[in-house]
Amino acid sequence: MPGKMSSASATRFRPGPLHGALRVAPDKSISHRALLIGALTRGRLSLTNLNTGADLQATRNAVTALGARIDGDGPDLTLHAPERLAAPGDVDCLNSGTTMRLLMGILAGAALPARLSGDDSLSRRPMERVAAPLREAGAAIDTVEGHAPVTLRAHAGLHAVSQRLRVPSAQVKSALLLAALVAGTTAQISGDERSRDHTERMLRYLGARITWDGERIELAPSPLQARDIEVPGDPSAAAFAIVGALVTPGSEVRVERLCLNPTRDGLLRALRAMGANLTIQGEREVCGEPVGDVIARASALHGVDLDPALLPTMIDEVPALAVAAAFARGTTHIRNAAELRVKESDRIETVAAMLEAAGIAVTRHPDGLDVTGTAHLHERIEVASHGDHRIAMAAAALAAASPAGVYVDDAQCARVSYPRFHEAWAELQR
Ligand code: S3P
């Protein structure tokens, strides 16, 4: 599509180094869980530094529809959990897969009827991966040929959850855990491949009897205590500033209070293997999650055969990693990433198209990409975001190290997960 985009409607990200300290958007996954799991405590919780993007607006609406009361409308609020969950009626989950899938688990566990819908992108994403295991546990759920709208019906109650995951997805695992928790049954889940463990950590922090080892999870019926939750920075949001700094000569960025959960740090590991100059300082634990500061300095990177075991711990960071690979010496091979095909866009396709628009050699595979770095990018680069926030933000990192910047259509979609992305990026390039 080069040449077809009207510069007037596109956002231009400019070239130039990134400098300074920043706090990126609060972690989206943990924010969803703070609201949804907080609503299951029957008490009152202060939630601080919640993500306020559109995805979280969907979860706030859902939690209110479940009978919770929320005081405050910014990143800091008080959540009053309901005595009993209410049937929420129709819930619009907007663009948010996490909202829809975790809510399916809660509603299945509570045997409450509801109808969950979403925007066009969410309506194309697979929902049977959650509906089928919940149905096996006794829930009454219908999808429309595997997709939203999802209808939950009242049913006689769940039996104990004992399942092997067919898709190693944190959302599927979390839906099953929350279903069991709400139903007051046990859950034994195996087949996890180190997908993000925020649900497990938050349940443990709130007093649930839960154990997990990266492969198998066991939850015993547990009442939850209402305890305050502070959300750390989102590694998926930090990925773009970190990569932008690494690939743009003269850059140095410090990302503060970042979530360093080992099920989310695959990008940092991959970048280190590529020769990145990354320093971690001030590691500590906050509300059950490891947190610290990451300093990224411009580095000469080289291509790698990415360890396939890292992929589940960096699945949302592949667009950023691909930008790092575009400036690395040699070729980076990314595999075990077929899940990218069912994200907010088909990210194997949209990442490949973004890099090709810049003149970078890419080979597509069913489950990944090969990216060969180059020092010679096109002068005029136009990227289609396809409404996918992570593609828009990856284009900003690409632009930083480009000769003349990058034009991106609908770059405002970054606000879905990172409401202040454009302002934060402008501050780093000032
Ligand atoms: C998420 C899990 C991941 C991730 C998504 C958020 C979560 O999806 O891609 O952005 O909050 O549980 P899967 O669990 O489907 O891999």
Give the separation between CA 237 and CA 254, rounded to whole angstroms: 13
Band of the pLDDT at 4, cuts 50, 70, 90? low
Whether the CA torsion 411, 234, 246, 282 is positive or negative: it is positive
Query: What residue owns the CA closest to ligand 1's atom 9?
Result: 316
Q: Which phi and psi angles does 354 have, rounded to 5°?
A: -60, -45
Provide the mean pLDDT of the chain: 97
Q: Binning pLDDT at 50, 70 and 90, where does residue 9 land?
A: confident
Quick check: CB of 99 below 6 Å from ligand 1?
no
pLDDT digits (tens, 9 = 90+) for 92-144: 999 999 999 999 999 999 999 999 999 999 999 999 999 999 999 999 999 99
Q: Is the C-beta atom of 199 inside 6 A of ligand 1?
A: no
Q: Tell me the mean pLDDT in the region 69-87.
A: 97
Under CATH, which number does the domain 28-226 receive? Answer: 3.65.10.10
Residue whose tokens read 């490891």: 290
State whether the beta carbon of 196 lies less than 6 angstroms from ligand 1.
yes
Tell me, using a 6 A CB cutoff, whether residue 176 lines ligand 1: no
- Which tokens belong to 28? 């989206």
pLDDT band at 2; cut points 50, 70, 90: very low
Distance 172 CA to ligand 1 centre (A): 9
Task: Please tell me if the CB atom of residue 315 comes closer than 6 angstroms to any atom of ligand 1.
Answer: yes
CA dist., res. 411 & res. 430, Å (int): 19
pLDDT-above-90 percentage for the chain: 97
Task: Quote the ligand 1 centre to 402 CA distance (angstroms).
Answer: 30
Taking the centre of ligand 1 as the mean of its atom positions, its distance from the CA of residue 156, in whole angstroms, is 30
- Ligand 1 atom 15 nearest Cα: 169
Determine which residue's CA is closest to atom 11 belonging to ligand 1: 29
Q: How far apart are CA 342 and CA 122, in angstroms?
A: 10
For the chain, the domains span 11-25+232-428, 28-226
User: pLDDT, tens digit, for every residue of 15-58?
Assistant: 999 999 999 999 999 999 999 999 999 999 999 999 999 999 99
Q: Residue 218, CB half-sphere, CA atoms under 13 Å: how many?
A: 3
Tell me the mean pLDDT in the region 214-225.
96
371: number of Cβ within 10 Å: 27
pLDDT value at position 6? 64
Active-site position among 92, 197, 265, 316: 316
Q: Would the CATH topology of 11-25+232-428 be identical to that of 28-226?
A: yes
Kindly state if the Cβ of 29 falls inside 6 Å of ligand 1: yes
**What are the pLDDT digits (tens) for 183-198?**
999 999 999 999 999 9
Strands of the 361-365 sheet, one edge to the other? 331-334, 368-372, 361-365
Distance between terminal CA atoms of the chain?
30
Strands 147-153 and 114-117, sheet pairing: antiparallel
Distance 41 CA to ligand 1 centre (A): 23
CATH number of the domain located at residue range(s) 11-25+232-428 in this protein = 3.65.10.10
pLDDT band at 8 (very low <50, low <70, confident <90, very high): low
Q: What pTM was estimated for this model as a whole?
A: 0.96
- 316 an active-site residue? yes
Residues contacting residue 380 through CB under 8 Å, at least 6 positions apart: 2, 404, 407
User: Strands 147-153 and 140-144, how do they pair?
Assistant: antiparallel
pLDDT category at 88 given cuts 50, 70, 90 is very high
Q: Residue 5 pLDDT more than 90? A: no
339 CB under 6 A from ligand 1? yes
